[in-house]
Amino acid sequence: MYFDSFTDFIAMGGHGTFVWMAYACFLMVIIWNLVSPAIRRRQVLESARRYWRRVDAESQSTESPS
Amino acid sequence: MNWVWFHKWASPKWFFQKTDALVLWFGFLCLILLTVGTVWGLAFAPEDFKQGNSFRIFYIHVPSAILAQSIFMAMAISAAVGLIWRIKLAHIFVEVAAPIGASITLLALLTGAIWGKPTWGTWWVWDARLTSTLIQFFIYLGIISLYQAIENRDTASKATAIACLVGIVNLPIIKFSVNWWNTLHQPATFKLTEAPSMATEMWVPGLIMMIGFYLFFAYLVLIRMRSEVLEREKRSAWVREYLEKKDVL
């Protein structure tokens, strides 16, 4: 490791605020990029499920009209 | 015939089935590369003799700035392919890549501003490189809102594709801004034709991050494209089979 102690690592020679702020932005962009397609996927699966449920219900009602 | 093998890639079903395993591999690889690159860049790489530890922002700023431009290049090529050969998957690529590109451009701008404060003494200057990158961010936002503003999907795809082809004019402006105008931003550190002018133990983690960023983009594009393919093909029998396999239905 380049730093002598964990405190040194956090302080980054006085540049800690900037370095950690930049890496926090990085983390936030990663999280957003993972969460938003997961939400979209859930929506898509749900709408496809509803579509096929409706199709099944309709085909059943035409097969046995009672 | 052999030479038409690539036509299969235009088939949504074929694409969906072939990328099933690929997604996991991309996700796994980029997780490893980004973790190794981040730990190496933050804790093991030496500091810069002039900039000190603020140099560590390099490991996210440079890959994100380069990737942001590559994504737009890929979108423009894909837009042209979509317009010329009427391949729907090419249009889907453009639509799903735009929000990823916008977020990566924002990351480049934010990390640049944060790096600028300790290095230049200011968060922001209206110089050529910074302004043209900000414009790039607005172009991404414009493309996203253009697609969302048009109700009809085919019309929206076409309009978005044309906007991408127009927007590409900004890429050489960003690239050459550091040579054409006086700017605080330094010119490119890395050139394809020359050995890097940076110490090896400094640029190797940067290279790892760069590959990690590209794989992360590939991973995100694939998972987003797969969702859009499912949405558009939800009435076909193979989607039903997929839903049953996933226990959704």
Instruction: Give residue-wise pLDDT tens across range B173-199.
Output: 999 888 888 778 888 777 767 777 788
Identify the closest residue of chain B to A4 by CA–CA distance.
B43
Q: Tell me: pLDDT of A66 over 80.
A: no
> How does DSSP assign B80-148, residue by residue?
HHHHHH--HHHHHHHHHHHHHHHHHHHHHHHHHHHHHHHHHS-S----HHHHHHHHHHHHHHHHHHHHH
pTM: 0.92
Q: Which of residues 25-44 of B touch A (CB under 8 A)?
A: 34, 38, 42-44
Give the closest-approach CA distance of A50 to chain B in angstroms. Answer: 9
How far apart (Å, rounded) are the C-alpha atoms in residues B68 and A18?
22
Question: Which site among A6, A33, A36, A53 would you substitute to test the B interface, given the most B Cβ atoms closer than 10 Å to its Cβ?
Answer: A33
Tokens for B219?
């991973």
**Two tokens, residue B125:** 């200057």
CB pairs under 8 A between A and B: 105
Q: Which of A12, A26, A36 sits opposite B53 (nearest CB)?
A: A12
Dist. CA B10–CA B93, nearest whole Å? 12
Cα of B82 vs its chain's centroid, Å: 19
- The yes-or-no verdict on residue A1 having pLDDT over 90 is no
Sequential pLDDT tens for chain B (249 residues): 556 666 666 788 999 999 999 999 999 999 999 999 999 999 999 988 888 899 999 999 999 999 999 999 999 999 999 999 989 999 999 999 999 999 999 999 999 999 999 999 999 999 899 999 999 999 999 999 999 999 999 999 999 999 999 999 999 999 988 888 877 888 877 776 777 778 888 899 999 999 999 999 999 999 999 999 999 999 999 999 999 998 887
B52 forms bridges with which residues in the sheet?
Answer: B48
Contact at 8 Å (CB) between B91 and B82?
Answer: yes
Q: Looking at the partner chain, which of B34, B61, B231 has a beta carbon nearest the beta carbon of A44?
A: B231
**Domain-wise residue ranges, chain A:** 23-58
Using the Cβ of B99 and the Cβ atoms of chain A, whether some distance falls under 8 Å is answered with yes
Distance CA A41, CA B228 (A): 8
Q: What is the pLDDT of residues B102-145, one digit of tens each?
A: 999 999 999 999 999 999 999 999 989 999 999 999 999 999 99
Tell me whether residues A26 and B240 touch, CB distance under 8 A: no
Q: What is the pLDDT of residue B39?
A: 96
Residue-level pLDDT at B100: 98
Residues B129, B133, B137, CA angle at the centre, nearest 5°? 170
- Chain A neighbours among B 108-167 (CB < 8 Å)? 110-111, 114-115, 117-118
Q: Name which of B23, B40, B57 to mutate to probe chain A: the one with the most chain A Cβ atoms within 10 A of its Cβ.
A: B57
User: What pLDDT is recorded for position B2?
Assistant: 59
Nearest to B63 by CA among B43, B47, B41: B41
**Concatenated DSSP letters for B196-216?**
-SS-HHHHHHHHHHHHHHHHH
Residues 6+ apart with CB under 8 A from B54: A12, A15, A18, A19, B48, B115, B118, B119
Q: In terms of Cα–Cα distance, which of B145, B132, B137, B143 is closest to B180?
A: B132
Task: DSSP letter for B5, please.
Answer: G
Does A60 score more than 90 pLDDT?
A: no
CB atoms within 10 A of CB A43: 12
